[in-house]
Amino acid sequence: MTEKTTPDDPSDRNTISDDIRNEPPNLDPEDDLSATFLSIEPSEGAPFSEINNDPILREIGDTPLVPHPENEQIVCKMERQNPTLSHKDRLGAGMILGLRQKGELEEGQAVVEASSGNTAGAVALAANRLGHPCTIVMRETTSPVKSGFVRALGAEVVTAPDVDHDHDFYYQKVAETYAEEHDAVYLNQYERELNRHVHYEWTGPELYEQIKGEGVTHIVGAMSTCGFLTGVAEYIKEIEPSIKIVGADGEESNISRMFYGEEEGNYDVDIEGLGQWRVTETANFDVIDDVRSVSDSIAVSRAKHEAADNGLLMGLSSGAAMEVAQSITQEDDDTKVVSIIHDGAEQYFHEVEDW
Ligand SMILES: Cc1ncc(COP(=O)(O)O)c(C=O)c1O
């Protein structure tokens, strides 16, 4: 019989989990794909060679198009297949490498981003693999799912109070100040045009290769910074201007109001990634054909219906986009619509009743 030995003093216990926890994140990877026992070809398609050669980052993008199980006029672009489970992985890696290429970020320099959503984990992952210390400023109300990604990937979380955008401690202002004080670069997905350029260079060409010659009439996605849909639209419109690009916005949100030249009003949307209190510098309405508003409750019930009745799991902003896609196909039998699945349902189970 083997005898179990337990140290007298619990602090003497050096468990495996303690060892792991004490290890610093791997910030200087030397990736040599040929060193693996599998023969892996570096992927093509991402606009930066550093992504193609990294075994983790190369999993970003190249997401599948899946036919909608019930509505044969709709196909779904499954951005949830990215490593941190949303389209923002393209943004995290693309912004860090883009800023390096422009000489605005040095190798090894710290990066800061403001996000209470999917960008948080995406930037933390890219920073981890590309060797940048990383801080994410999050609102204090941020879901532990989102902060979990950040901490798990070895980045620092700084918490800001949940105050309005005109307050000094608004999380985006805190991030800017924090970066200035720490000689770090504030990525700023809201104001940097690089946000939409990443999607122009990467997501647009990838999607076009998948749909060319298939008679697609519409592409529908949710809008917040507007970087994703604008970048995709700018690329697609250059080649096939007849394809209509349609954004889903929240009901009480300023993107649709500004798109239709109405007065700015109150922003009150609970769904992550749906709408904004302003139209950011990353948006370009010239390439967007229509913006439709979807209420929080309709977005949620659409996401629940797609999961329960069609086995199609999606997050809540994707529920809003899918609602718009469904309405387009109901208006015209000849339409063929790509609906973006920005992220998965699993990040929202805890906040949706009966999920
Ligand atoms: C879940 C989700 N859907 C849609 C969007 C909208 O993407 P973008 O900011 O590129 O407009 C976001 C971005 O915040 C998001 O996190």
162 shares its domain with 141: yes
Q: Say what the pLDDT of residue 298 is.
A: 98
Q: Is residue 46 part of a domain?
A: no
Q: Is residue 173 part of a domain?
A: yes
Does ligand 1 have an atom closer than 6 angstroms to the CB of 199?
no
236 shares its domain with 334: yes
33, 110, 104, 206 alpha-carbon torsion, rounded to 10°:
40
| Residues forming a β-bridge with 341 | 78
Alpha-helical regions (H) of the chain: 16-22, 49-53, 88-101, 118-130, 144-152, 171-181, 194-198, 204-211, 227-239, 254-259, 296-310, 316-331
Distance CA 160, CA 344 (A): 26
- The enclosing H or E element of 342 equals none
- Provide Rg for the chain, Cα atoms: 21
| Residues forming a β-bridge with 167 | none
93 shares its domain with 234: no
CB atoms within 10 A of CB 173: 17
313 shares its domain with 207: yes
Q: Is residue 16 part of a domain?
A: no
Pairing between strand 185-186 and 111-114? parallel
73 shares its domain with 107: no
Q: Is residue 275 part of a domain?
A: yes
Q: 295-326: per-residue pLDDT in tens? A: 999 999 999 999 999 999 999 999 999 999 99
Does ligand 1 have an atom closer than 6 angstroms to the CB of 204?
no
Range of the domain at 105: 88-186
Calculate how far, in angstroms, residue 39's C-alpha sits from the geometric centre of ligand 1. Answer: 35
Q: Is residue 138 part of a domain?
A: yes
Residue whose CA is closest, atom 2 of ligand 1?
A: 273
What's at 237, amino acid-wise? K
Does ligand 1 have an atom closer than 6 angstroms to the CB of 343?
yes
Distance CA 132, CA 126 (A): 8
CB atoms within 10 A of CB 26: 11
What are the tokens at 155? 């980045």
120 shares its domain with 256: no
Locate the ligand 1 atom nearest the alpha carbon of residue 318 and give its number: 3
What are the tokens at 77? 């672009």
218 shares its domain with 308: yes
Q: Say what the pLDDT of residue 32 is.
A: 57
Pick from 192, 317, 318, 348 the residue to mutate for probing ligand 1's pocket: most ligand atoms within 8 Å of its CB. Answer: 317
Does ligand 1 have an atom closer than 6 angstroms to the CB of 342?
yes
Does ligand 1 have an atom closer than 6 angstroms to the CB of 228?
yes
Distance CA 313, CA 1 (A): 50
291 shares its domain with 229: yes
Among 186, 208, 238, identify where a domain stops: 186
Calculate how far, in angstroms, residue 6's C-alpha sits from the geometric centre of ligand 1. Answer: 50
Distance CA 214, CA 204 (A): 16
Residue whose CA is closest, atom 1 of ligand 1?
A: 273
Pick from 256, 272, 288, 324 the residue to mutate for probing ligand 1's pocket: most ligand atoms within 8 Å of its CB. Answer: 272
Q: Is residue 19 part of a domain?
A: no
Does ligand 1 have an atom closer than 6 angstroms to the CB of 273?
yes
Distance CA 355, CA 351 (A): 8
313, 345 Cβ separation under 8 angstroms = yes
Q: Is residue 73 part of a domain?
A: yes
Locate the ligand 1 atom nearest the alpha carbon of residue 91 and give its number: 10
Distance CA 157, CA 287 (A): 36
Q: Say what the pLDDT of residue 12 is.
A: 44
Among 131, 157, 186, identify where a domain stops: 186
237 shares its domain with 178: no
303 shares its domain with 323: yes
Q: Say what the pLDDT of residue 38 is.
A: 64
Give the CATH number, domain containing residue 135. 3.40.50.1100
Calculate how far, in angstroms, residue 348's C-alpha sits from the geometric centre of ligand 1. Answer: 14
Locate the ligand 1 atom nearest the alpha carbon of residue 226 and give its number: 11
Does ligand 1 have an atom closer than 6 angstroms to the CB of 223?
yes
Q: With a cut of 50, which residues of the chain have pLDDT below it? A: 1-25, 27-29
Residue whose CA is closest, atom 3 of ligand 1?
A: 273
Which residues lie closer than 8 Å to 269 by C-beta, 6 or more apart?
Answer: 250, 251, 252, 253, 275, 296
Does ligand 1 have an atom closer than 6 angstroms to the CB of 320?
no
Does ligand 1 have an atom closer than 6 angstroms to the CB of 344?
no
68 shares its domain with 168: no
Does ligand 1 have an atom closer than 6 angstroms to the CB of 222?
yes
Q: 109-152: per-residue pLDDT in tens? A: 999 999 989 999 999 999 999 999 999 999 998 889 999 999 99
230 shares its domain with 274: yes
Count of residues in the chain: 355
Residue linked to tokens 């060319």: 212
Distance CA 25, CA 15 (A): 19
Question: Coil, helix or strand for 275?
Answer: coil
Locate the ligand 1 atom nearest the alpha carbon of residue 224 and give its number: 11
Residue whose CA is closest, atom 16 of ligand 1?
A: 273
Domains identified in the chain, total number: 2
Among 186, 207, 231, identify where a domain stops: 186
Q: Is residue 69 part of a domain?
A: yes
DSSP per-residue letters across 228-269: HHHHHHHHHHHH-TTSEEEEEEESS-HHHHHHTTPPP-----
